[in-house]
Amino acid sequence: MSSLTLSNSEKLSMLRNLAIMLGSGIPIIEAVDSLLEDTNGNQFKVLSTLRADLMQGQQIAASLANFPRVFDKVTVNLIKAAEEAGTLETTLRDLRDHIQSEIEFTDKIKFAMIYPILIMIVFAGVLLVILIFVVPKISAVFSRLKVELPLPTKILIGASDILINNTMLLGVGLVVIIGGIILLYKSNRNFVLRILYSLPVISGLVRQIDFARFSRSLHLLLNSGLPITVALELAQEVVMDLRIRKLLEKSREMVIGGKKLSDGLRLGKKFVPSMMIKLTEAGERSGTLDRSMQELSQHLDYEVTNSLKAATALLEPILLVVVGISVGGMMLAIIAPIYGLIGQVGGR
C-alpha cells in the first residue's frame, strides 16, 4: 500500500465527494460504500482499505496514513485534527480547495514548459533526420568527387558517421546515462536537486514556488487549529530547496524558544521575500497569522505566474534563435562545398 498512488484529480474527486456526502448527513461508512460503487483501480483500493479500517474502529487519518504517496503528512494531520475537533466536513472542503489550488499551481508550471520542450523535441528530430538521411548522401557525393571540405562540413560528416556506424553503442550509452541519473536521483536525491535548483533561472523560481506552497500549507494547518510548532514542522515538508528548509527548521526552533516566526525568517532576508517577513510580522501582532499566510500565498501565486510568463517570453525567442542558427549552420556546412564545387566547374 505504501507504493500506491493516485492522481491529483482522483484525490480531489474523492475528497470532494466525501465532503458533499458528509455535509448531507450521510454517515462516513455509507458515504464510502456509495463511492465504491463508481470507482475502480487504485482509488477503489484506497476506499476499500478505508472502509475495512473504519469497520474495525480505526480513525480516517490512521487509515489514510497507510498511503503516504497519496496523502502527505499535511493532509493526514489535518484530517486527524478535524476528527478530534468534529470538523471533518469543513476540513475536507478546505483540503479540496487546497488540492485544487495545488493542481492549478502545478498546471501553470507544466504549461509554461510545454513550448520549450516541444521546440527541443522538434530540433532533435530535425537534427537526427539531417544526420541520418541527408548527410550520408551528400558525403557520398563529396567522397566520389574528392572535394576539399571545410571544417564544419567534416565535423557534420564525422558526427553522422558516428551516429550511423555506432547506433547500438550510442543507444546503450544513452540508456546507461539515463539509468545512472535515475539511480543517482533515487540514492542521493538532495544532491541532484541541489544542482538543479542552483541553476541561474531555476533557482529564483524554485524559491518563489517553495514560499508559495509553504504559506498555503501553513495557512491551512493554522486554520485547522494546530499549534504553530506542529504546523511549521508539517508545512516545511512541501519545500524543495534545502536552504529554505533549513531556515524553516531554524525558525521553528526559535518559535519553540519563545521567539517569533518573523524573527526566524529575517535570518534568511537575503532570499526570503520582504513581503513575506512583513506580512508574517503583521499577522503575529494582530493574532491573525493564518489569514496573513493566506494573503501571502495569493500574492506569491501571482508572483510565480508573472515569473513564469516572463521566463517563457524570454526563453521562446532564445530557443528559436538557437535552433535557427544551429539548423542554418548545418545547412550552410552542406551547401558551402556544393557552391565551391560549382565555382570550380564554372572557372574551368
pLDDT at residue 44 in the model: 87
How many other CB atoms are found less than 10 A from the CB of residue 284?
16
Give the dihedral sign, CA 88/73/264/258: positive
Query: What tens digit of pLDDT does each residue of 56-74 get?
Result: 988 888 898 888 888 888 8
pLDDT at residue 323 in the model: 86
pLDDT at residue 247 in the model: 92
pLDDT at residue 264 in the model: 92
Please list, in sequence order, all residues whose beta carbon lies within 8 angstroms of the beta carbon of residue 300, skipping any fewer than 6 positions away: 208, 211, 212, 215, 273, 276
Q: What share of the chain is helix, strand, coil (3-state, %, to 5)?
A: 85, 0, 15
Question: In which residue are the cell numbers 541561474 written?
Answer: 200
What is the pTM assigned to this prediction? 0.74
Query: What tens digit of pLDDT does each residue of 209-267 get?
Result: 889 889 988 998 898 888 999 999 988 888 888 888 899 999 999 999 999 999 999 99
Percent of the chain having pLDDT more than 90? Answer: 14
Q: Tell whether the model's pLDDT for residue 270 goes beyond 80.
A: yes
Cell of 203: 533557482
Q: Mean pLDDT, to the nearest integer, of 10-24?
A: 85
**Nearest alpha-carbon partner for 219 in 293, 276, 275, 306:** 293
Query: What tens digit of pLDDT does each residue of 102-133 get?
Result: 788 778 777 877 888 888 888 888 888 888 88
Q: Mean pLDDT, to the nearest integer, of 128-150?
A: 81
Show the domains of the chain with their CATH numbers: 8-71 (1.20.81.30), 99-348 (1.20.81.30)
CA distances (Å), origin 189, targets 47, 204, 245, 270: 31, 20, 15, 25
pLDDT at residue 197 in the model: 67
CA angle 27, 33, 35 (to 5 degrees): 105
| Long-range interactions of 270-279: CB distance < 8 A, separation 24+ | 271/207, 271/243, 271/244, 272/211, 272/247, 273/208, 273/211, 273/300, 273/303, 275/299, 276/211, 276/215, 276/300
pLDDT at residue 252 in the model: 93
Helix (H) / strand (E) containing 196: helix 189-197
pLDDT at residue 344 in the model: 61
Kindly state the DSSP code that residue 131 receives in the 8-state scheme. I
